[in-house]
Structure 1
């Protein structure tokens, strides 16, 4: 029998959290510690100060974007800029709040999943460590590729602008003045400011991706345990078992069920922000993909960015929705229990599964189930039609404006 002594959730997630710390997220101590009891959060630590430093820069960037928008006629792009800065700043604050609770969260998770790390529970297929690290680092690598395409697209556009419009001046000064007008409209071009702008921009991009990824990885951890539970009882369909057995497995099930409820209370704000961000920016990226055809690299960037955004949003939604599906699969086994073995424990178990929604939610405004994917798709189509009907086609020939 294949036991799981090392396949715990925190052990699987640690390398991904370590990468997130490079981008100011999760300012907790003890990421490389042997167990969850080494995790610690302190306000007076370099990691926390690093995170707070970004929050301050992000707030300044948001204010600058709002101020720039107020000076001109409001466009879809300017609104997108404000939402981009605002939603990701809120996401950074959510991660900071979660970091304060991270030690308690991981200790709770460890105590609830401990029974699944030894017989009679087994590893089926790929380990949790493999799945989390494969998905985590694959998405991060795709995010890096997206950023490289964005940089290449921007440089190509600005070279075209300089050559076509006969603009004088150094390339990089013109580049940053046009790429980040919300900053360089008020501050003269200089290297320290450029470095701060680039740092803020890169962290913003990482947060934008990591919010989807984080919810996905949490869902994989929960989904894996529900699948292990079902695989333990799957072969018992139609067979007689004593009441003590059903009482025992119900206790195991309740551990993960209560963990879902606990995590939902903490993660709800981030889920709400992430879903709102995904709906708006999928719409916006699709809109820009249809309209913008300035250069071939720009077209490639917008199409790749759109596909990547849809991919990570669907990955998050499908993984999260499968937590709910997996939590209800034991019903088919319980309903096949012979009448001769039917007990109060079986009935209570069925009632528990039917009455508790084992699904993450956006502050209970919606639950991450398959139905929400259809609802989001309908919303996207509606908004896209409105945006395309209201805005005039982009005049790509007037690049000197």
Structure 2
């Protein structure tokens, strides 16, 4: 669903870019003449339809977020806990090739899944804002209240997926997760020195 919404925002941005480019191809005199005839109403109608389409996509994102918010929160929580446990267990020696393969494959799978979900979620947020540079470069002669409303809406209500409103999925979330994992991993190491010594002395096999 996130990919579909991102694709629709991309189509909307391409439509805006094509329209503005077609206007910029005209000379300044042609733009002024355009704004003084019947075509001005068509221009305002175009931007009104664009704004309504953007608003509809934002509502779809909000509805999807309401349905998937709890699942996103649970998924990120389980992934972070699994990564923390796997990193903590990795500090001991591993017996056999099978255990080593299992550790790296399971750990790599969870990390890749978390990163991919964050990238796609951030892609939605970035694409929804991607039309802003084009809108800010609209010629003054065709600037109208509908464009101003659209710019304000993109600034104030940019759609994004959240974990039940505890966090928003953006590209910067990956760095935040990495910093959180490092912090808690250091805390686990400090408070579990006895367990680490037991692992190193007995070479116990623990699978998670």
Per-residue CA distance 1:217-259 (angstroms, 9 max, x = gap)? x321221211222222223345538111111122222221110
CA contact (8 A) 1:260 1:358 kept: yes
More RCO (CA 8 Å, sep 6+):
2
Matches of residues 1-400 of structure 1 in structure 2 within 5 Å?
Answer: 218-237=1-20, 240=23, 242-389=43-190, 390=192, 391-393=195-197, 394=199, 395=201, 397=203
CA contact (8 A) 1:321 1:370 kept: yes
CA distance in structure 2 between the partners assigned to 1:273 and 1:371 by the alignment: 19
Query: In 2 relative to 1, CA 323–398 (structure 1 residues): closer, same or farther, beyond 3 Å?
Result: closer
Instruction: With the length of structure 2 as denominator, give the TM-score of the two structures.
Output: 0.80
Query: In 2 relative to 1, CA 392–290 (structure 1 residues): closer, same or farther, beyond 3 Å?
Result: closer
Query: In 2 relative to 1, CA 289–250 (structure 1 residues): closer, same or farther, beyond 3 Å?
Result: same
RMSD of the TM alignment (CA)?
A: 1.9
CA distance in structure 2 between the partners assigned to 1:308 and 1:244 by the alignment: 49
Paired positions, count: 182
Query: In 2 relative to 1, CA 397–235 (structure 1 residues): closer, same or farther, beyond 3 Å?
Result: same
Gapped regions of structure 2 (runs ≥ 5): 24-41
Equivalent position SS for 2:91: helix
CA contact (8 A) 1:287 1:387 kept: yes
| Matched residue, 1:47 | none
Instruction: With the length of structure 1 as denominator, give the TM-score of the two structures.
Output: 0.43
Query: In 2 relative to 1, CA 222–292 (structure 1 residues): closer, same or farther, beyond 3 Å?
Result: farther
CA distance in structure 1 between the partners assigned to 2:146 and 2:139 by the alignment: 14
Query: In 2 relative to 1, CA 396–366 (structure 1 residues): closer, same or farther, beyond 3 Å?
Result: same
CA distance in structure 1 between the partners assigned to 2:59 and 2:144 by the alignment: 23
CA contact (8 A) 1:238 1:338 kept: no
Gapped regions of structure 1 (runs ≥ 5): 1-217
CA contact (8 A) 1:288 1:302 kept: no
CA contact (8 A) 1:289 1:299 kept: no
Residue 287 of structure 1 deviates from its aligned partner by 2.2
